[in-house]
Chains A and B, each alone.
Chain A
Amino acid sequence: MDIKIRQLEHRYMPGSPYERLALKDISLDISEGTFLALIGHTGSGKSTLIQHLNGLLKPSSGSIAMGDTAWAAGDKKMDMKPLRKKVGIVFQYPEHQLFEETVEKDIMFGPMNFGESETEAKERAKEMISLVGLPEEVSDKSPFDLSGGQMRRVAIAGVLAMKPDVLILDEPTAGLDPSGRNEIMELFYNLHHDRKLTTILVTHSMEDAAKYADEIVVMHQGKVFMKGVPAEIFQQEEKLKQASLDVPETVEFLHKWQAASGERHELSEFTVASLAKALASEWKGGVS
């Protein structure tokens, strides 16, 4: 589904001494099938923005359309359930998302809540547990007796079990071990393509943003500060610095190399492999 956000504004605790304008004048189009990375320092409004996309937060002004479902500030209470079936969110803090007695029941909850049979839900739970790299035995454990990284995998499994069309991931790999991080990101990426999802990834990893995203949106002080394809975004190091962000490690390395050697290279892809190719050309007498 296409996502349309128009002049969205969000105020927390309006009218109280703690009132805070967390989002200002956000207008954004995300077309179906896009893999979008949302980056920005803490407090820039990323989590506030994504919580609007399944109606967990209501706009203070402005409007949102998710496919055929549209709503605006001041609208009467809407039934968000049909939308929540299609929009899966993995929240920033997984323990806030878990609540059942066992891991299996926790993963089954979503599908059953949206009308799947118990047999089907059980089936999916089993499939998802292995998909996110958890050992089978955890299915009867309490999700609260798991390690931090295991809890996060359960939260991810629960969202994937609903087979959403739109997948929203709020820093989904924080707390995962490095190989788990790579595996889970590959899993999201493959699901994105195989199931033709629309994916929004909130991340602090510039490497992941560069590697997986079709488009990047940079948030700063509650506004959309930059928007573009990875190559455009990571060419503007100065502007990123204003938003307290870094460039990917590959770009950082190129800058160090340039400072030492005077050699310049442009990267179209930000992988280690393409960086190695670019640098190696100096040894083959290509570029230098």
Chain B
Amino acid sequence: MSEILKVNDVSFKYPAETELALKNVTLSCMKGEWLSVTGHNGSGKSTLAKLLNGLLLPDSGNVEVEGLFTTNMDELWEIRRRVGVVFQNPDNQFVGTSVRDDIAFGLENFGVPRDEMIRRIDESVKHVGMEQYLDQEPHLLSGGQKQRVAIAGILAQAPSIIILDEATSMLDPMGRKEVLETVRTLNKEKGITVISITHDLEEALHSDRVLVMNKGRVSALGAPSDIFSNTSLILDAGLDTPFSVKLSQKLREEGVPLTRDYLTQEELVKALWTLKSGS
């Protein structure tokens, strides 16, 4: 796999502030991977997202997307097309009076010709299963549907990277599953790289790698199994251990001879079953 995105020693401070919001952040992201980003409130996740698509520019260091730099003004617009961001609040992101107009508006901004636009709109709403709703007013959709339309709008830009900034945190569990399934399909079938900012530990568990931010710095970057078995790292970063890890620990306290912590329910059930049939 090749590197699609590189963040090189980036620091950033909001103009009116004294504290840096990001401090010497370095990371890279592989093409086609699903990277979860997590960390305490105010740790710099959304700031990082805005630096990745050039909405904010670094004070020092640089951000490179497929060989383009956000600090090169003439490459910035192309980076914004390639890196699409879906934000948290489904109500604040619509401008059009119908789903179709809304997606079209975004494409006009990128100068997509009309014929091509129609083709892309049709294709992108199909991808997210919203083709029945092209003429609906976005505000009358459910939260999960709104987020899928927002994703369709970004898909139509033909991005290489989709960033979800807590895009499912306002949704009910069903809506959340729906949206994540939609993105997972795009990730698998179209090879789109996904960077998902989330406080949902179960979601982070199912990604390729996890980035933990702590007070503006990268505190860890690695496989979910390495990150979530490191209890002190997790608690220090304001996170929590996943359900199955907690249950593994409590079971041991109760005298069940488990030899380690398990990350998912499936693994833990299997381990318990092995113990039981062996005894």
Say whether A177 contacts B199, CB under 8 Å. yes
CA distance A153 to B42 in the complex (A): 11
Show 30 residue pairs from A and B whose CB-CB distance is below 8 angstroms, ordered by the A residue: A18-B140, A41-B172, A42-B143, A93-B89, A147-B46, A148-B166, A149-B40, A149-B41, A174-B169, A175-B88, A177-B43, A178-B199, A181-B240, A244-B172, A252-B265, A256-B265, A260-B269, A260-B270, A260-B273, A272-B247, A272-B250, A276-B247, A276-B251, A276-B253, A276-B254, A279-B254, A279-B256, A279-B272, A282-B276, A283-B255
Contact of A187 with B by CB under 8 A: no
Bitwise, B22-40 to A at CB < 8 A (1) or not (0) is 0000000000000000111
Say whether A150 contacts B240, CB under 8 Å. no
Distance of A29 from chain B, by nearest CB (Å): 26
CA distance A253 to B172 in the complex (A): 20
Which residues on the A side are within 8 Å of B231 (C-beta)?
none
Contact of B173 with A by CB under 8 A: yes
Which residues on the A side are within 8 Å of B266 (C-beta)?
256
Contact of A256 among B43, B91, B269 (CB under 8 A): B269
Contact of A261 with B by CB under 8 A: yes
Distance of A185 from chain B, by nearest CB (Å): 12
Which residues on the A side are within 8 Å of B14 (C-beta)?
145
CA distance A284 to B38 in the complex (A): 39
Residues of B within 8 A of A (CB): 14, 16-17, 38-43, 45-46, 88-89, 91, 140, 142-144, 166, 169-175, 199, 201, 235, 238-240, 243-244, 246-247, 250-251, 253-257, 265-266, 268-270, 272-273, 276, 279
Say whether A179 contacts B238, CB under 8 Å. yes
Which of A171, A204, A244, A273 has most chain B Cβ within 10 Å? A204
Per DSSP, chain A at the interface is helix
Contact of A280 among B40, B43, B199, B254 (CB under 8 A): B254
Which residues on the A side are within 8 Å of B244 (C-beta)?
253
Since A176-B199, A177-B238, A249-B265 are in contact, a sample of 15 more A-B pairs with Cβ atoms closer than 8 Å, ordered by chain A residue number, is: A41-B172, A145-B17, A147-B45, A147-B46, A171-B170, A174-B169, A176-B41, A179-B240, A180-B238, A244-B174, A246-B173, A253-B244, A276-B251, A276-B253, A283-B279
Residues of A within 8 A of B (CB): 18, 40-43, 92-93, 95, 145-150, 153, 171, 174-182, 204, 244-246, 249, 252-253, 256-257, 260-261, 272-273, 275-277, 279-280, 282-284
CA distance A275 to B249 in the complex (A): 12
CA distance A166 to B173 in the complex (A): 27
Contact A245/B173 with A182-B240, A276-B250 known, Cβ cut-off 8 Å: yes
CA distance A257 to B272 in the complex (A): 9
Contact A280/B251 with A92-B170, A147-B46, A252-B265 known, Cβ cut-off 8 Å: yes
Which residues on the A side are within 8 Å of B42 (C-beta)?
146-147, 149-150
Contact A253/B247 with A176-B199, A178-B240, A179-B239 known, Cβ cut-off 8 Å: yes
Distance of A238 from chain B, by nearest CB (Å): 16
Which residues on the A side are within 8 Å of B254 (C-beta)?
276-277, 279-280, 283
Across the interface, name the chain B residue whose C-beta is closest to A152.
B41
Which residues on the B side are within 8 Å of A179 (C-beta)?
40, 235, 238-240
Say whether A284 contacts B170, CB under 8 Å. no
Which residues on the B side are within 8 Å of A276 (C-beta)?
247, 250-251, 253-254, 256
Which residues on the A side are within 8 Å of B46 (C-beta)?
147-148
Say whether B166 contacts A175, CB under 8 Å. yes
Which residues on the A side are within 8 Å of B279 (C-beta)?
283
Which residues on the B side are within 8 Å of A272 (C-beta)?
243, 246-247, 250
CA distance A272 to B144 in the complex (A): 30
Contact of B273 among A150, A261, A275 (CB under 8 A): A261
Which of A93, A252, A276, A282 has most chain B Cβ within 10 Å? A276
Which residues on the B side are within 8 Å of A275 (C-beta)?
247, 250
Distance of B47 from chain A, by nearest CB (Å): 8
CA distance A282 to B273 in the complex (A): 11
Which residues on the A side are within 8 Å of B276 (C-beta)?
261, 282
Which residues on the A side are within 8 Å of B268 (C-beta)?
253
CA distance A246 to B45 in the complex (A): 29
Say whether B143 contacts A177, CB under 8 Å. no
Which residues on the B side are within 8 Å of A18 (C-beta)?
140
Which residues on the A side are within 8 Å of B257 (C-beta)?
283
Distance of B214 from chain A, by nearest CB (Å): 11
Which residues on the A side are within 8 Å of B243 (C-beta)?
249, 253, 272
Say whether B272 contacts A178, CB under 8 Å. no
Distance of B170 from chain A, by nearest CB (Å): 6
Which residues on the B side are within 8 Å of A284 (C-beta)?
255
CA distance A204 to B175 in the complex (A): 11
Across the interface, name the chain B residue whose C-beta is closest to A153.
B41
CA distance A150 to B257 in the complex (A): 42
Contact of A279 among B88, B251, B265 (CB under 8 A): B251
Say whether A42 contacts B172, CB under 8 Å. yes
Contact A253/B265 with A93-B89, A171-B170, A176-B41 known, Cβ cut-off 8 Å: yes
Contact A175/B239 with A42-B144, A147-B41, A280-B251 known, Cβ cut-off 8 Å: no
Which residues on the B side are within 8 Å of A149 (C-beta)?
40-42
Which residues on the A side are within 8 Å of B239 (C-beta)?
177-179
